[in-house]
Amino acid sequence: MSGEVETTVITQEDLKQGLTQRHVMMIAIGGAIGVGLFLGAGKAIQQAGPALIAVYAITGVFIFIIMRALGELLLYKPVSGSFAEYAREFFGPLYGFITGWGYWVTWTVIGMAELTAAGIYIHYWFPSIPQYLSALVFLVLLVLLNLAAVGAFGEAEFWFASIKVLTILALVIGGTVVMVFGVGKAGQEGTIVNLWDHGGVAPNGLFAVLLTFQIVVFAYQGVELVGMTAAETKNPGKVLPRAVNSIPARIGVFYVGSLLVLLSLFPWTEFSKDTSPFVQAFAQIGVPAAGALMNFVVLTAALSSCSSGLYSNGRLLHRLSKDGLAPSKAGKISGTGVPAVGVLASGAVMLIGVGVNYVVPEKAFSYITSVATLGAIWSWGIIVACHLVYRRRVASGQAKPSPFRLPMATAACWAVLGFLAFVTVLLAFDEANRVALYSIPLWALIFIGGYFGFGKRGMRRVEMERTQQSVG
């Protein structure tokens, strides 16, 4: 098993393996806990009521299948910018181009949204500081962090994720203790009966529950980031399976568990779509300075997500440049072993988000996040589709089997593709997300035009260079 893994690691260009097991585990955990949970859950609770718990659990099952499929591919070939490389290998260079640049655009958009959110959170303490200025300062700091050795990014992400994890654990444990021992008003009124005693489990009907699937998909976005760490992970054959296999427990505690406690402590009718349910819960339990505490937590969550986006995008540009699908300069590695040009280029494009915050600060967040959910659906779909092709090649002897296999792979992968198609259709029924569907023809035109405009020429250049090197 270990021999198979090592032979694939040799193919990794010049990135340094500076991420340890605790770094990768926390990056995997942090990817599954974001602003979508801390802030977005309020709107989803108002829409679905206690049935939201089931939506998170059902989506979590599909997320685990996606990650097991990705894990199998990662141990077959742990590469930087893995999604683009797998799409190129199993479906051809056009799909590699679309997947790589599409994921890059998605995380650039998410980074802009998180910078916008960070500027809003700073207003809590310093209302006189312009939103765009906070976004700019944070962007510069995060770019500098990502230009340092990859271990520095891993260490920062470890502590960012730790803050989120400890916050949710405090809610789950504290809320349970409050209810069991009847501490304070929340403890006396908190009971599991709240899950069905205020209009039923799905008080607004089944269709309202179905519409929350797209909110939940957005909340889970980022869990696949562990795939970007493969080329820089020490001992990936041991670390990556552990990170992937820990996902069900993380989903059970951090998503399903936290919502179960929240909606047992208080009736769903007491939560507001405009306020984080975590802030409300901590405040009603009686935690001192609950608002300031949670503002700090959601600020770190936003910075963590933006930093992860810079990390991911730098590696994507590095991978695309190696395949000739991005400028060759994007593949250059700094003295610290990171794709500095890719990180700087990604940060420069994120400056657009700072500009949007300067022009329309009150609408920046909704403008910037219109395509994020669709980006996640495409990325997860391509992972599963690549896995299906990979398994067919393994069966025919054309590809080497991975030591980390997804059980019942064919049926599981088709079930995921059906689920993702279902969520895509649901986007059409939500006015706020419908614009993402409208943008599909535009993005298709841009990506396909980009591939035939400069991608194919770049690929020919790379092939000629490789041929010359082999001859030399």
| Number of neighbouring beta carbons within 10 Å of residue 274 | 8
Residues of the chain with pLDDT under 50: 1-13
Domain that holds residue 345: 2-471
45 with 271: CB under 8 angstroms? yes
Residue listed under structure tokens 């395949």: 323
Domain count, the chain: 1
**Nearest to residue 33, comparing CAs of 157, 176, 192?**
157
Is residue 143 classed as helix, strand or coil in its secondary structure?
A: helix
pLDDT at 8: 36
pLDDT at 329: 83
Written as one letter, the residue type at 115 is L
pLDDT in tens, 10-39: 334 456 666 666 777 676 666 667 667 776
Round to whole Å and give the CA distance between 113 and 110: 5
What are the E-state strand segments in 301-437?
none
Strand partners, 233: 19
For the domain that residue 183 is a member of, what is the CATH number? 1.20.1740.10
Is residue 233 classed as helix, strand or coil in its secondary structure?
A: strand
Helix 21-31 to helix 150-181 angle (10° resolution) is 60
Backbone angles phi, psi at 233, to 5 degrees: -100, 130
**Nearest to residue 371, comparing CAs of 443, 460, 320, 276?**
443
Backbone angles phi, psi at 428, to 5 degrees: -70, -20
Q: What is the DSSP letter of 203?
A: T
For 331-368, give the DSSP string.
Answer: G---TTSS-HHHHHHHHHHHHHHHHHHHH-TTTHHHHH
Q: What is the pTM of this model?
A: 0.86
pLDDT at 2: 34
User: Which residues 6+ apart lie within 8 Å of 236 measured at CB?
Assistant: 5, 9, 74, 75, 78, 230
**Nearest to residue 371, comparing CAs of 422, 457, 440?**
440
pLDDT at 297: 86
